[in-house]
C-alpha cells in the first residue's frame, strides 16, 4: 500500500484473493458469513464478517484455520489446526485472533504473516463454541466446531 492509501480504501477497491463462506453446523444452522483474504507482499489481510453466533457465557469464539479440506459430517473431517511448521499452540499458522460477538454478530480485520493465501486454499476455517485458552495443547480447549467454510480462490 502507498502512503496515500489507507486500509479502508484498499479493502473497498481490491477484490479479495480468496474467500471462505461460513455456515453453521447441525446444532447452529443459522450461523453464516464470510472470511476474505488479501495477499500483500509482507503478509495477508484477513476480514471476517459473521452473523447469528449463539449467546454464550463469554460471547468469545475461537477462530482457526484447520488442515482439513471439507466441512462434511458436522466438521469432523477438518483435522487439527493448520500447522506446517509443527509449532505448539498458540503458534500454529492457523491460530487466529478470537471472534467477539456483539448480539450475535462479529466483525474482525487483522494482518498476519503466518501463512500466504496460496498455502490455505482448500483449508477449512472453523469457528468453535468456546474461547481459546491459548494454553491447552494441541487446540486451546476451544470446544465444539460450530461453523465451517473452505477457503477458495475468489473468481
What's 46's domain CATH number?
2.60.40.200
Complete edge-to-edge strand list for the sheet that includes strand 43-51: 63-66, 124-128, 145-153, 18-24, 32-40, 43-51, 106-112
Does any domain span residue 21? Answer: yes
**By the 8 A CB rule, do 78 and 148 touch?**
yes
Does any domain span residue 33? Answer: yes
Query: Domain containing 141: what range?
Result: 15-153
Does any domain span residue 129? Answer: yes
Does any domain span residue 112? Answer: yes
Does any domain span residue 83? Answer: yes
Domain count, the chain: 1
Per-residue pLDDT of the chain (155 residues; tens, 9 = 90+): 445 567 777 777 889 999 999 999 999 999 999 999 999 999 999 999 999 999 999 999 999 999 999 999 889 999 999 999 998 888 899 999 999 999 999 999 999 999 999 999 999 999 999 999 888 888 788 999 999 999 999 98
Cβ neighbours of residue 21 under 8 Å, at least 6 residues apart? 32, 33, 34, 149, 150
pTM for this predicted structure? 0.92
Does any domain span residue 4? Answer: no
Amino acid at each position: 500500500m502507498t502512503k496515500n492509501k489507507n486500509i479502508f480504501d484498499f479493502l473497498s477497491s481490491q477484490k479479495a484473493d480468496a474467500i471462505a463462506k461460513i455456515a453453521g453446523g447441525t446444532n447452529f444452522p443459522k450461523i453464516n458469513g464470510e472470511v476474505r483474504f488479501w495477499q500483500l507482499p509482507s503478509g495477508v489481510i484477513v476480514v471476517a464478517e459473521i452473523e447469528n453466533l449463539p449467546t454464550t457465557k463469554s460471547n468469545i469464539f475461537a477462530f482457526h484455520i484447520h488442515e482439513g479440506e471439507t466441512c462434511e459430517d458436522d466438521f469432523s473431517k477438518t483435522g487439527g489446526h493448520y500447522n506446517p511448521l509443527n509449532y505448539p499452540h498458540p503458534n500454529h499458522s492457523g491460530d487466529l485472533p478470537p471472534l467477539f460477538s456483539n448480539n450475535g454478530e462479529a466483525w474482525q480485520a487483522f494482518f498476519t504473516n503466518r501463512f500466504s493465501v496460496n498455502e490455505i486454499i482448500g483449508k477449512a476455517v472453523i469457528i468453535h463454541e468456546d474461547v481459546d485458552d491459548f494454553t491447552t495443547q494441541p487446540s486451546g480447549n476451544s470446544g465444539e466446531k460450530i461453523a465451517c467454510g473452505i477457503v477458495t480462490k475468489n473468481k
